[in-house]
Chain A
Amino acid sequence: GAGVSQSPSNKVTEKGKDVELRCDPISGHTALYWYRQSLGQGLEFLIYFQGNSAPDKSGLPSDRFSAERTGGSVSTLTIQRTQQEDSAVYLCASSLDSHEQFFGPGTRLTVL
């Protein structure tokens, strides 16, 4: 009974480098969400995938951010040319159809 998993758990990178964050949702969950949580802040919606529908990208803060979900399962969030303000915890969640979201442990990204 695996929950949502994310990798890496921690990522330290230099400003200007690209990073990829991975999310493995709960098997069978059709919806997948990415959020960003800056230190001491709430959750900022980034992107949402639902089945085979076009993703809702309305929360992505800039065109440096992109995400894909392959085969309706694993998702990768990519941040290009990272900036220091990108430092945050990136949370992934998945859900079936009941609106209840199950969250992963997050990836803590630090941009030096």
Chain B
Amino acid sequence: AQKVTQAQTEISVVEKEDVTLDCVYETRDTTYYLFWYKQPPSGELVFLIRRNSFDEQNEISGRYSWNFQKSTSSFNFTITASQVVDSAVYFCALSEANRGYQKVTFGTGTKLQVIP
């Protein structure tokens, strides 16, 4: 069974601070995908990144960066120089490549509040 744990329920930071959102996953598969989604106050989930289990390279996209470590089953997300627009709920998710379809398991989300 697959499981995604986001231990941080809520985080508050002051604008321009860096913040890291933690994600720990469990899976028995050797082939899987990891995702991060953002859900702003408007409610619509927005895809941020996908990572497959064979690619442990860290990724940077502007102020966003992701640290994938299979050894600790973690896929953490860092926002550098946070901005008020980053305030949202962030979900980490996992899907196992299983016979041609992928059932995605989401974590419970981390609510990030960036204070101006």
B91, A42: Cβ atoms closer than 8 Å: yes
- Size of the chain B interface, CB-CB below 8 angstroms: 22
Cα–Cα, bound, A100→B95 (Å): 10
Cα–Cα, bound, A102→B42 (Å): 15
Residue of A nearest to B97 (CB): A99
Chain A interface category by residue count: 20 to 34
Whether A80 is near chain B, meaning CB under 8 Å from some CB there, is: no
- B33 cross-chain contacts in A, Cβ below 8 A: 99
Whether B13 is near chain A, meaning CB under 8 Å from some CB there, is: no
Whether A25 is near chain B, meaning CB under 8 Å from some CB there, is: no
Given A102-B47, A106-B44, A43:B102 Cβ within 8 A: no
Residue of A nearest to B52 (CB): A99
A100, B35: Cβ atoms closer than 8 Å: yes
Residue of B nearest to A42 (CB): B108
Given A48-B101, A99-B35, A43:B91 Cβ within 8 A: yes
- Chain B residues proximal to chain A, CB less than 8 Å: 33, 35, 37, 42-47, 50, 91, 95, 100-109
